[in-house]
Structure 1
Amino acid sequence: MFYIKKKHKKVPIEDPIYTTCPMCGVEHEVDLTDVLTTGGDLYGTQVYCHRCSVERAKQHKGQEWAKQIIREGV
């Protein structure tokens, strides 16, 4: 179990969990299970919002890859 400490008390981390997109700064929900099972960690992982994920896919992998992301709803 992961938890944070607030005023010397353990506070469980419960859904929904939010993060900030490192590209546009929008706050969005993130699934910690997905982050941790794909090799991420709680300290160094950044999760892009859906819009920025599509834009990055276009830039790095091309239009067809971005279309696949949109279809899968990643």
Structure 2
Amino acid sequence: MSTGGYREVLTSPRERLTLFRWGLRERYRHVLKRMRGIGIQRVAVSVFRGDQPYCNVAYQVIQGDLGPLEVKFFDS
């Protein structure tokens, strides 16, 4: 996929987003920031072994980068 296609996918309107094996580092967060304002209302995030500290930080990062929305965590 060309970079133009990558940008189009990230900014296509959608209500839901699922994140698998997602890192909280800034190099990954630019993807969320790019998707802000496209209509996402719910985010599901995979979590390894019930890592509560990860969930706490991920929730804050998602709210900060995408805005207020519903965040659910599930066991990966």
Q: Taking structure 1 as the reference length, what is the TM-score of the superposition?
A: 0.24
Structure (1 or 2) with the greater helix fraction: 2
**Structure with more relative contact order (C-alpha pairs < 8 Å, separation 6 or more):** 2
Q: Taking structure 2 as the reference length, what is the TM-score of the superposition?
A: 0.23
